[in-house]
Amino acid sequence: MPPAGIFPPFGKRKDKRMMGSASLAGLFLLVPPCQSDPMTENNSDAIQSPNGTQATPWCFGTMQFGGRASAAESARMYAACRAAGINFFDTAHVYTDGMSETLLGKFAGKEREELIIATKCAFDAENSRNSILKSFDESRTRLGMDSVEILYLHRWSDVTPLEESLETLAQLRQQGKIRHIGVSNFSAWQVMKARCIAEKLATSIRILQPMYNLVKRQAEVEILPMAKSEGFAVAAYSPLGGGLLTGKYGAGKTGRLVEDKGYAARYQPEWMHRAANALAKLASDYGLAPATLAVAWVAHNDAVTAPILSARNAEQLAPSLAAMTLPLPPELYQAISRLSPTPPPATDRLEEA
């Protein structure tokens, strides 16, 4: 059982997140970041909805809409997110043959002004001007929206010069079709290269979307420290390791890691499954669902602006939403962190880590 009184007062962690710029103020005095804190309300670069509402520090990802989640289940999950106060939704041109964007656009409907909508272009195509413009036009049609708050390059391209991709995004921004530019699945050097080019074009990279969860901690080495230092927002995807961290595979159940070869390979190492089983045991000691602890652990990292939650139905989603009101005391955060290896520092000087 957890020691009595281990949980700090309700809402403490979220308060800390909302004060992000204040808590980093000392650091900024010494080394001013090139971009400011996206969670600050008075920042003109703040990530906010068309009616000026700040993005919630929780995002919902609609990758399952119209795929593993039927339209009816997708509607239930959307409603559950809205009831929980989430106003930040993530989709992509490549998801479920367009159904993800179509359903999200339909649900957003009349409350569009209150929402932060992020989509992504160019996953299975080049990041060329033509490809970005074509896919983004399709995305806007499917969403039924003239503009979105965030458009990400879904991943790095070895084919298209970054200048061409960013010039295109800068133009879309100038035209008011996108509010912020983001990049997903970029390494740290790729982000900084993109930012240099963006600055020359008088625009900026506002938000990153890396994979990050208890068994995928590579982002801790370069991406997250860079984001804190340079003021990039971070929307972290796959907080449950594609479902591994729900503990269901240790309990003999099935899901994406069985159904999808790519995810099976991504989460194949045995130590990841041992960590998931250990997380399930720890969660049971606290009377919590493993998914709640896994999501809360990602959210607790002060470089993470918003974890991107997801599920295939509303029942699955409930334990992830429960993380929104779970303060994670330092002892429990550290106990969870010890369940998987901390990645070595970028300098490889292990003795100094």
Residue closest to 76 by CA, chosen among 243, 310, 313? 313
13 or 154: CB nearest ligand NAP:
154
Q: Kindly state the smallest distance separating residue 269's Cβ from ligand NAP, in Å.
A: 16
- 78, 95, 212, 263: the catalytic one is 95
Q: Which chain residues interact with ligand NAP by CB under 6 A?
A: 61-64, 68, 90, 184-185, 209, 237-243, 246, 248, 255-256, 291, 308, 310-312, 316, 319-320
Q: Kindly state the smallest distance separating residue 341's Cβ from ligand NAP, in Å.
A: 19
CA pseudo-torsion sign 250, 252, 257, 261: positive
Residue closest to 308 by CA, chosen among 221, 226, 222, 242? 242
Phi, psi (rounded to 5 degrees) for 168: -65, -45
Q: Kindly state the smallest distance separating residue 345's Cβ from ligand NAP, in Å.
A: 25
Can 237 be counted among the known catalytic residues? no
185 or 277: CB nearest ligand NAP:
185
Whether the Cβ atoms of residue 120 and residue 154 lie closer than 8 Å to each other: yes
Q: Kindly state the smallest distance separating residue 251's Cβ from ligand NAP, in Å.
A: 10
DSSP element (H, E) containing 207: strand 205-209
User: Which ranges in the chain belong to alpha helices (H)?
Assistant: 12-18, 20-23, 25-30, 71-83, 99-108, 129-143, 162-174, 188-200, 223-230, 256-259, 261-266, 270-285, 290-300, 314-322, 330-337
288 or 311: CB nearest ligand NAP:
311
39 or 95: CB nearest ligand NAP:
95
Q: Which residues are catalytic?
A: 95
